[in-house]
Structure 1
Amino acid sequence: MIFTEHEIVRKEKANGGKGHIIIEHLLTKNELKEQCGMFAHVTLEPNCSLGYHEHHGNGEAYYITKGSGLYSDNGNIIEVKAGDVVFCPDGEGHGIENTSSSENLEFTALIINTVK
């Protein structure tokens, strides 16, 4: 199957973050069934962030595809850039911020549901 149309959502102050984020859902919840919570391309425009949040019942990976920024790994702040992969396991927390004033920070996000 080829999916050429994607739902695009703009969220203001996502998880208490600054500005907004743009989420392009690459597959719908119906297509993901109950195996994954989300598979999406996420864009953080300059000076925007996805606020710190915890995962319960799932984990989330980000593959940074463009730009750079700061990633909170359970409160530990680390620099991330294109090519980096970060993972937040079940029961832990994370957030990400685009600190650039001119370039977007983009990443692929995958939420993986915990197998019971």
Structure 2
Amino acid sequence: MIINYKEMEQQRITGFKGGNGDVLTQNFVDENNKIMMSRLQPGANSGYHKHEGNSEIVYIISGTGHFDYDGVREDVQAGSVHYCPMNHSHAMYNDGDDELVYFAIVPEHMAQR
């Protein structure tokens, strides 16, 4: 399956997960995954949130910023990969003057038996 972001409508979300500013995003979503190509605008951040029932992998394509991961600051730049496992929390911040462009995958995890 090919996911073609060039043919996908872009959405503008203000205050993503309770954060500040705008994120421009294109999302593929099914019952197993959310796969996103997004651009966090300068000075914007996502709200601090916990991953319950899923995890998140974020690959930074361009720009600079940082994550608050379980209360610890992690600086990121192009080529960095941030991983937030299930039952952990994070928020993303764009500290730079340019968009923070990233590709993210949020796999849903089956309930533990």
Q: With structure 2 as the length reference, what TM-score do the two structures score?
A: 0.88
- Quote the Cα distance in structure 2 between the aligned partners of 1:68 and 1:99: 6
Uncovered stretches (5+) of structure 2, i.e. residues with no partner: none
Report the structure, 1 or 2, having the larger strand content.
1
Identity %: 30
- Corresponding residue for residue 9 of structure 1: 11
* Aligned partner (choices 42, 63, 66) of residue 70 of structure 1: 66
TM-superposed CA distance for 1:42, in Å, is 1.1
Which segments of 5 or more consecutive residues in structure 1 lack a partner in the other structure? none
1:35 aligned partner = 32
CA distance in 1, matches of 2:45, 2:23: 7
Once the two structures are TM-superposed, the CA of residue 115 in structure 1 deviates from its matched residue by 2.6
Match runs of 1:96-107 below 5 Å = 96-100=92-96, 102-107=97-102
The total of aligned residue pairs comes to 109
Q: For residues 35 and 51 of structure 1, what CA distance do their matches in structure 2 show?
A: 23
Superposition RMSD on alpha carbons, in Å?
1.4
Per the alignment, residue 105 of structure 2 pairs with 110
CA distance in 2, matches of 1:114, 1:72: 23
Runs of 4+ off more than 2 Å: 1-4
